[in-house]
Structure 1
Amino acid sequence: MIICKKLLEIRNGDGRLDLITDAAKFRIVLLTDEIVRIRCTFEEHFPEEASYSLAMTAWEDKMDALMPDRRKIEAIPAQYDDWGTHLLLTTRTLRIRINKEPFAIEITDTDGNVLHADLKEKSYVRDAQGRLYHYSCMDDHDHYYGFGEKSGYLNKKNRRMRMHNVDTIGYDSELTDPLYKHIPFFIKFNGESQTASGLFYHNSHDSVFDIGCERSGYWNKYSYFCADGGELDVFFIYGPRIKDVVRHYTDLTGKTVLPPKYSLGYMGSTMYYTELDRHSDKAILGFLEKCREEGIPCDGFFLSSGYTTGKDGKRYVFHWNDERFPDPKRFALQMAEMGAALAPNVKPGMLVTNPLYREFDEAGAYIKDSSGERSHIDRFWGGAASFVDFTNPEGRALWKKHLKQSLISLGITSIWNDNNEYEINDSRALCHCEGDPKPIDGLRPIMPNLMAQMAKEALEETSPGVRPYIVNRAGFAGIQRYAQTWAGDNITSWKSLKFNIPVMLGMGLSGVANQGCDIGGFFGPAPDPELFVRWVQNGIFQPRFSIHSCNTDNTVTEPWMYPAYTRYIRDAIQLRYRLMPYFYSLMFEASTEGSPIMRPLVYEFQNDARVWDESFDFMLGSSILVANVLEEGAKTRAVYLPKGADWVEWNTRKRYAGGQTIHLDVSIDSIPMFLRSGAVVPMAPGLTNIHKDTAERLQLLIEPSEEGGFVLYDDDGRSNRCKEGDYLRTTITVKNGRDTRISFTHEGEYRARLQTMVVEALCRDAAPVQVSLRDKELSMFLDPKQWDAAEEGWYYDMEQKAAKIKYNDRREDYEIRINFDVKDLISI
């Protein structure tokens, strides 16, 4: 056991501070005012900078050419004061104290709140097996969030979690660990000081987080990170708010890529259709036609791997089964004509019987065995296989070649990367690693990220004007830069419905805003009617919304599987489509700010202690609280409404003060939703297909009792012209009072086909007496039919307690004024 105990030497480098201790070397880089890099190695020299995951650096890196979107910044000079017992470095927001003996690092804010403290005398350790440990102090008021894709409750305090990619079919969403993603990042929030910070361990070896499970009477309470290899490369990230930590973390590892708009629609899927003996294409086209007949919007279909099945029943990537799909190009065209994207499944494990196996083998494109001379063969779904090495230029080139030939050439612009956990059992198997071979055990979670990057590049090289849509099952930190993700092969149960929510909330706090789970459950018997309805009612709020199944009772999960309940499924999906402008704007926010779309309540209300451990109720963006019914046979639903806002029930428009628990009566059609005071929610009534429909009417639901605002974003939804200014960003600002003002400012060149705007302003105490647009008084109507027939004007909806204001859309900046002075009819 080697432990760093004493600082021996200090060296100022170029934009860094190098420290030599009695056991290891350290390099401190003040990357920004909020991000501090603490790099530790127990070797003679620091390894070469070679990161596949960082999106922002202040140094030269071997992978810079492979990461074209990487942003280079200049680090803050690492100047320090020597106080005898310790060194002190400062940024605008942080104080970094380096204790000389015992060696330890402590970081505080400018008010003296301790944000991070190494456990003195046991801070940085390497054991006899080469495992690396970093021990940190814990406080009784600390809460821990994030850690990527993890089961169980939102707050991970008193948990031990393993970081490792694994195919966990039928997992228990409360207890199973690990799952598919490996994201070694967490947020620590101290309730007493109201400060949040994060630690990102830039290490892709298998690792463990112990958040207070281990105890020793000789030490203060502590947590630790343990990695099987590599180096302790730690990025400390400051808030002080949780949302600030997420923003800075996604500066470091990348923002969520803006996907094509249709990817936010309902994506149909099931393994059942592609396992039919023949005519799977007709079954899928029939599914789309049935959606149309039932009034259920649908914008795409995830094509399960049965389409690749060979004569021997094995799945062969880049192969089409001609009995199930006799004319793939015509099929893809028919799908497009019906307003549905096709997203075919591809897998990086290539069975040794695959007709393409030899081509990849001869090119040296697979991961090698420990000798480095032969392709490594391991267990995979379907039999013995070798795995494409995406750290090898040959592997990347061949993969892109066959993506283009087999799929993209058919007009396909969506790729579904599956079974890419790289469960290679020999940790000595060698990856090319850009000409510097390294064992798979340090690169396993990097492979799915590179696989997604290659799909993105292949699509952009073939169709440079089209925005790619990539979906990944596995991934490492930074996967959000390339792909939407989902929580793998969940089991069909009420527990999965419930505990998949904190799984997704944790992913959102870990930088992955665009994700979801299989609605209805993937593995197990078909869901019963009540469970299915409740799952869809929850699923419509997930960025990835797909009903997908591999049922074990010879059934297929479809929206109309229970005819007596289809209307509830239809209503829920139609609600999802009405909210599409809100969803797309939130996705834009994720792409620029890193914000989650599904947000735990603590993200928006971290000063309310009652939400610090809330795992199941969540915010959709900043404006809508969702409290889905998650219990079988429920007749009532208790909902805690966070303090710091008023809340308006979505359907009844009943108003509640925050800071209280209310009890709602619920029925099978209930989707409990609450509008936050100051909220702005854009909606598109009547939208049924994102590919084909043109939204000519936009509805803005506004709660103006508090100041608020929203950035409404739009573009063509399918091209990359938005990067050249062809977008429309409308900033909506609400200033409340008896003379409420709603202002609209525009940026960008995109010309939408929008014709009519309807602003629905909720009224707290009284109806307006006057409404004006650009200082021009609008006509007031008593009869809603007359208002509906008019081009512009307003009326007061008594039932909805809202002023409904209609006018022709206008591109110039403007303001709506709503006067709430009470008109005295008696004295007149």
Structure 2
Amino acid sequence: MAFAVGSLTAMAQNSQRVYQSHSLGTNGLIVETDQGKYQIRFYNQNIVETAFIPNGEEFEKDSHAVVLQPEKKGAKLADRQNDLLYSSKGMSVKVSKKPFGISYSYKGKNLLSEKEGYIKTDSTQNIDFQIEKEEVLFGGGARVLGMNRRGYRLNLYNRAHYGYGTHSELMNYTMPVVISSKKYAVHFDNAPIGHLDLDSKKTNTLRYETISGRKVYQVIAADSWEDFTYEFTNLTGRQPLLPRWALGNFSSRFGYHSQKETMETIDQFVKDSIPVDAIILDLFWFGKEMKGEMGNLAFHRDSFPNPEKMISDLDKKGVKTILITEPFILTTSKRWQEAVDNKVLGTDTEGKPFTFDFYFGNTGLVDVFKPEAQDWFWNIYKGLANMGVGGWWGDLGEPEVHPSALQHINGSADEVHNIYGHYWAKLVYEGYEKDLSNQRPFILMRAGAVGSQRYGMIPWTGDVSRSWDGLKPQTEISLQMGLQGISYMHSDLGGFAGDNLDDELYTRWLQYGVFQPIYRPHAQEAVPSEPIFREPKTKALAKKSIELRYQLMPYNYSLAFENNQTGLPLMRPLFFEEQDNKALLNVSDTYMWGDAFLVSTITDAGAKQKEVYLPKGNVWFDFVKEQKYFGGSSYTVQVEEDHIPVFVRAGSFIPMKKGMHNSGEYSLENFELHYYHDSSVKHGTGQLYNDNGETPKAYEKGEYELLKFTSAHSGSKLKLDIATEKGSNYSIEDKKVNWVIHHIEKQPKKVKWGKKNLDFTWDKNSRVLQFTEELQKGKNQSITIKLAK
């Protein structure tokens, strides 16, 4: 493949480094220089890795982020007069011999080039890249900076930002990843803390700075954003499928003080007929006071006299119990001596438990990297899981306070700080695989690293301000994290920090929550986060949102399956729809929820209207009002009190299920299948994934069914098909499919299943056609609608 010569390659040089020789072997291309050697290897045609090993150092093989194995074959080397061209079918690496330099291209398109290679200073090791002037840059983890993060120098040190609003340069979840609007990324595959400079000095320079560690990075490139997210999660791992109940509504606050309060709260949900699937117990489950008791990690029997019965009674109501845990063991806690005796804590340089003060008291920190500590911590989790606990909330896992002098088994605090949450999630996830292998874990945590999705981590956006300014950036954070492989980033619905009682804000946040990955209202307790404790009108509006969330569970669960198989985020930026529309690169308040829904948030008090851009090449329908819009334009839509603006793409299939009080009632024996017809759509597709909602890797085990929907429209005939794919170890039931076909302009002449005429209804005002037909076990269904001309 010819390498496109341009401005980037002209800058790809290192005047300090001298090429000496090269060789090709099982580890890829090895290039020897006077200062050390480069190892360049392809993972596949979309991903290449470059490692620099300075003279006198050994290559550090272990990556905390990467799970894909490099390919041994497929790359070709061309040795030309003054350069080497090492190429796959897609990616090419050009190594200039004199002056020395490395540049990258994808299918002939320049991506970026090293400026000087890794350079060591007194306190850091840095690498600079030349990038192009017009590139928009995403990445760096969770931040609030606007979608384009170019111009910032980002601290890579996971740290909570309490009460943030419309600007936050440092938050709980940082990642050394830069993603370009040119559909490529650079992942700096290294754990220690540092900085990511996204051209802050406006010299078209990308810089990675770190205190120590691996001098390794991967470049990932693709033809489309869908392909990019596929490849990035191919490299770093994919999210296991969540337990289905995790897509339901949570009851959560800081916090429930007693068994009595916990049960009474759920009883009120039942009384008000508001669906709920789980209740989360904050730190009062292990002690009465906020301070002095963290690390007990056992029920406080004074406040929770019979937790076994409580958990059992909640299970009977279809409600899971989730407990908060923290990695801090206070010196005043009941487990302090146990933790010391078992040598599970981070230490000082003499090997003694390192203790320090923070908000909750004097404490040590569990060394989650140490095998003995992993076993000790997991045995606590396992004991509680055997009691019936259904999931875990891991809090303060940045870690919240992590003194630099603290030593872990594998390095200093600063060397492992940013991967602490990653290994904590790994500990829990692998514990389930070993001891609770029939149960999908639920692992809610606020800090992790690149690749944490593969351990089932469900992160949230931290202690956001309970304000309109807190609501505004929530879509930006989730969309950015989805690009970086973390697709379940979500917010405390209603906002967390501050005693702000604002019913309109609460309503709008919960309406947005319908179309984000996890539906979990949560807040400080002075103002209730649960809808059951809000005034009647607000409660009714919240109930409507929660009921819609449950109706969409078949669609949402299918999105979760798609993410599990492909890495495609649940929330997707609009630029996924128009991949060459630069104006959309900065849009975050409007986004796609899967392939069918376009959602636009309301983040201002008293808003009466909202301007919404609808992507070109499609017809769109207002999800509530059914009004038709043509894509490629912005529209000013009227804002209603009981919903935010949501649109459906013509040609979409949306499976829905009504009437559930919680996910325990989930069944496809009787469900609705909505199809949004328009004459412009000749072919439409959709799918519905189903399993028992509990078994890990059910798809891989053949314990699933997958219904594939297609539409074909020609002339006066609309054909709708369901094809059933059945796993080898799955038993299928008959299904009553209640078809709801939207935007049929005139009363159809006939609806037929095979040769059988079906009874149907057609509403002249709504233009909705409805009929019902049974889908027999494992069979296919083909419906033909004869349309009026």
TM range (shorter): over 0.9
User: Of the candidates 708, 724, 732, which is equivalent to residue 731 of structure 1?
Assistant: 708
User: Of the candidates 73, 93, 96, which is equivalent to residue 96 of structure 1?
Assistant: 93
User: Of the candidates 196, 215, 232, which is equivalent to residue 232 of structure 1?
Assistant: 215
User: Of the candidates 573, 591, 597, which is equivalent to residue 600 of structure 1?
Assistant: 573
**Distance in 2 (alpha carbons) for counterparts of 1:535 and 1:290:** 22
Q: Name the stretch that deviates more: 757-766 or 565-574.
A: 757-766
| Residue 661 in structure 1 maps to residue 654 in structure 2 | no
Q: Name the stretch that deviates more: 662-671 or 797-806.
A: 797-806
8 A contact 2:459–2:489 mirrored in 1: yes
**Matched letter for residue 485 of structure 2:** G
Matching residue of 1:795: 761
Shift of 1:323: 2.1
**Matched letter for residue 747 of structure 1:** E
TM-aligned CA distance change 1:286 to 1:4, over 3 Å: farther
8 A contact 1:9–1:19 mirrored in 2: yes
| Residue 134 in structure 1 maps to residue 110 in structure 2 | no
Q: Deviations over 1:735-778 (max 9, x none)?
A: 333333322222224345563102222336544333322x2243
Q: Name the stretch that deviates more: 743-752 or 503-512.
A: 743-752
5 Å matches for 1:166-565? 166-172=159-165, 174-190=166-182, 196-216=183-203, 221-274=204-257, 280-309=258-287, 313-371=292-350, 373-405=351-383, 407-433=384-410, 438-482=411-455, 483-551=457-525, 554-560=526-532, 561-565=534-538
TM-aligned CA distance change 1:399 to 1:673, over 3 Å: same
TM-aligned CA distance change 1:764 to 1:19, over 3 Å: farther
Matching residue of 1:52: 64
**Distance in 2 (alpha carbons) for counterparts of 1:294 and 1:576:** 17
Q: Deviations over 1:281-300 (max 9, x none)?
A: 12121111111222211000
**Distance in 2 (alpha carbons) for counterparts of 1:486 and 1:3:** 45
SS of alignment partner, residue 181 of structure 2: strand
**Distance in 1 (alpha carbons) for counterparts of 2:87 and 2:752:** 52
**Distance in 1 (alpha carbons) for counterparts of 2:146 and 2:724:** 41
**Distance in 2 (alpha carbons) for counterparts of 1:767 and 1:32:** 53
TM-aligned CA distance change 1:299 to 1:752, over 3 Å: farther
Matching residue of 2:7: none
Shift of 1:141: 3.0
SS of alignment partner, residue 273 of structure 1: coil
**Distance in 1 (alpha carbons) for counterparts of 2:64 and 2:654:** 38
TM-aligned CA distance change 1:521 to 1:753, over 3 Å: farther
**Matched letter for residue 166 of structure 1:** R
TM-aligned CA distance change 1:57 to 1:573, over 3 Å: same
**Distance in 2 (alpha carbons) for counterparts of 1:50 and 1:609:** 38
Q: Name the stretch that deviates more: 11-20 or 473-482.
A: 11-20
Q: Name the stretch that deviates more: 566-575 or 48-57.
A: 48-57
TM-score (norm 2): 0.93
Q: Name the stretch that deviates more: 633-642 or 753-762.
A: 753-762
SS of alignment partner, residue 12 of structure 1: strand
**Distance in 2 (alpha carbons) for counterparts of 1:522 and 1:43:** 51
5 Å matches for 1:720-799? 720=696, 721-738=698-715, 739-749=717-727, 750-751=730-731, 755-763=735-743, 766-773=746-753, 775-779=754-758, 793-799=759-765
Identity across the alignment (%): 25
5 Å matches for 1:595-674? 595-674=568-647
**Matched letter for residue 641 of structure 1:** L
**Distance in 1 (alpha carbons) for counterparts of 2:167 and 2:224:** 29
TM-aligned CA distance change 1:733 to 1:385, over 3 Å: same
**Distance in 2 (alpha carbons) for counterparts of 1:93 and 1:504:** 30
Matching residue of 1:709: 685
Matching residue of 1:789: none
SS of alignment partner, residue 36 of structure 1: strand
**Matched letter for residue 361 of structure 2:** G
Shift of 1:453: 2.0
Q: Deviations over 1:393-438 (max 9, x none)?
A: 1011111112223x112111311111111245443432213xxxx2
SS of alignment partner, residue 325 of structure 1: coil
TM-aligned CA distance change 1:369 to 1:762, over 3 Å: same
SS of alignment partner, residue 203 of structure 1: coil
TM-aligned CA distance change 1:759 to 1:144, over 3 Å: farther
SS of alignment partner, residue 664 of structure 1: strand
TM-aligned CA distance change 1:768 to 1:201, over 3 Å: farther
| Residue 117 in structure 1 maps to residue 89 in structure 2 | no
**Distance in 2 (alpha carbons) for counterparts of 1:22 and 1:614:** 47
8 A contact 1:3–1:124 mirrored in 2: no
**Matched letter for residue 555 of structure 1:** V
**Matched letter for residue 693 of structure 2:** G
Q: Deviations over 1:4-41 (max 9, x none)?
A: 53322213231311112233421101111111011123
**Distance in 2 (alpha carbons) for counterparts of 1:671 and 1:113:** 41
**Distance in 2 (alpha carbons) for counterparts of 1:145 and 1:249:** 14
Matching residue of 1:145: 138
**Matched letter for residue 168 of structure 1:** H
**Distance in 2 (alpha carbons) for counterparts of 1:401 and 1:331:** 22
- CA-based RMSD: 2.1
Aligned length: 766
**Distance in 2 (alpha carbons) for counterparts of 1:95 and 1:316:** 52
SS of alignment partner, residue 167 of structure 2: coil
**Matched letter for residue 238 of structure 1:** A
SS of alignment partner, residue 411 of structure 1: coil
TM-aligned CA distance change 1:390 to 1:646, over 3 Å: same
**Distance in 2 (alpha carbons) for counterparts of 1:321 and 1:701:** 49
8 A contact 2:498–2:524 mirrored in 1: yes
8 A contact 1:200–1:236 mirrored in 2: yes
Shift of 1:155: 2.2
Matching residue of 2:11: none
8 A contact 2:184–2:220 mirrored in 1: yes
**Distance in 2 (alpha carbons) for counterparts of 1:43 and 1:385:** 42
TM-aligned CA distance change 1:610 to 1:769, over 3 Å: farther
**Distance in 1 (alpha carbons) for counterparts of 2:277 and 2:322:** 11
8 A contact 1:520–1:557 mirrored in 2: yes
SS of alignment partner, residue 142 of structure 1: coil
**Distance in 1 (alpha carbons) for counterparts of 2:356 and 2:36:** 37
8 A contact 2:76–2:88 mirrored in 1: no
**Distance in 2 (alpha carbons) for counterparts of 1:471 and 1:306:** 18
8 A contact 1:365–1:392 mirrored in 2: yes
Shift of 1:241: 1.0
**Matched letter for residue 160 of structure 2:** D
**Matched letter for residue 127 of structure 1:** T
Shift of 1:494: 0.3
Unaligned runs of at least 5 residues, structure 2? 1-13
| Residue 811 in structure 1 maps to residue 784 in structure 2 | no
TM-aligned CA distance change 1:606 to 1:733, over 3 Å: same
**Matched letter for residue 322 of structure 1:** R
SS of alignment partner, residue 180 of structure 1: coil
Shift of 1:512: 1.1
5 Å matches for 1:553-592? 554-560=526-532, 561-592=534-565
Q: Name the stretch that deviates more: 814-823 or 737-746.
A: 814-823
Matching residue of 2:9: none
